[in-house]
Amino acid sequence: MKNSPKITSQKISLFILPFLSMAIHSGCHTEAKPPGVTEITLAKTTTAEPVLPVIADAVSILKRAEVPILCYHQVRDWKPSDSKMARDYIVPIEKFREQMKSLADSGYHAILPDQLYDYLAYGKELPAKPVMITFDDTRLDQYGVALPELNKHGFKGVFFIMTVSLGKPGYMSKEQVKQLADEGNTIGSHTYDHKNTKTYTEKDWEEQVAKPSRQLQAITGKPVDYFAYPFGLWNKDAITGLKKYGFKSVFQLSVKRDENDPLYTIRRIIVTGDWSGATMQRVMKNSFH
């Protein structure tokens, strides 16, 4: 048997170099594609910063037509022991029904604070003949009497909750407040125990504002974006303090709005117990323009 020829390093080099050259050459150029195959090129994408809408300045907000906002406290029949002043805050059941029917028959649409905020801050459109229906103080009759009337006419309401009263006799429970929120009504804060915001100390801000907001959010599972001043009373310090807690807007009663912070001094009118539906509408038109 003949010996196999010896393979020297020189021969190996001569054998491998042509293949290395081909590999290097093919790596520097685009490989030919079989007929009918289209090359897919992925476009480079960049993440743009979201463009946030600009909130209107105070002058522009004050120029927008005001929306009538009604404020209710108790919806129950008068008692002989009710004083004249008390009756201004108590609307008998049949009167409330008449008032809600009057709004519905006249083509009013009940709006919620988010809609009002978008209208005032960004100029978004509202439905024809808007009205807002609000309730203060967590009274049980707001749930048992007022809510069915709202539902009858397809209205949603705004309930400003005073958390000290939750679950007490004559007041709503946590479960009822959650139901209101689940059904599309807005839950706002009305402090812990109705203390005047003009008198707050540092401790009061935690007890009257921060804790109630956390509690209401835990109950409803939704942020608390709106606040109503107890007694409708406010000052510059109250506005400054409430801004720190992230409220989108704040509701007072019927005095003039602040020229620098109209979103924190939105006006409402208290509905009294002797108004017919027609009287209420007349007051609405005269009070908001």
What residues pair up with 161 in beta bridges, in sequence order?
189
Q: Which residues of 153-186 are buried (b: 16+ CB within 10 A; e: fewer)?
A: eebbbbbbbbbbbbeeeebbebebbbebbeeebb
Alpha carbon distance, N-terminus to C-terminus of the chain: 117
- Write down the pLDDT at residue 6: 43
Q: Which value, in Å, is the radius of gyration of the alpha carbons in the chain?
A: 34
Amino acid at 234: W
Tokens of 188: 């706002």
Q: Residues of 100-115 as b/e, b for ≥16 C-beta within 10 angstroms?
A: bebbbeeebebbbbeb
Tens-place pLDDT, residues 96-106: 999 999 999 99
Of residues 99, 93, 175, the one with CA closest to residue 133: 99
Residue 149's pLDDT is 98
CA distance 27 to 123: 60
Residues of the chain scoring pLDDT < 70: 1-50
Q: The tokens of 100 are what?
A: 């809600």
Q: Are 196 and 231 in contact (CB under 8 A)?
A: yes
Report CA-CA distances (Å) from 172 to 36, 92, 141, 143, 176: 72, 19, 8, 7, 6
Domains observed in the chain: 72-287 (3.20.20.370)
pTM over the 0.85 mark: no
Give the pLDDT of residue 47: 63
pLDDT in tens, 193-219: 999 999 999 999 999 999 999 999 999
> What pLDDT does 20 receive?
37
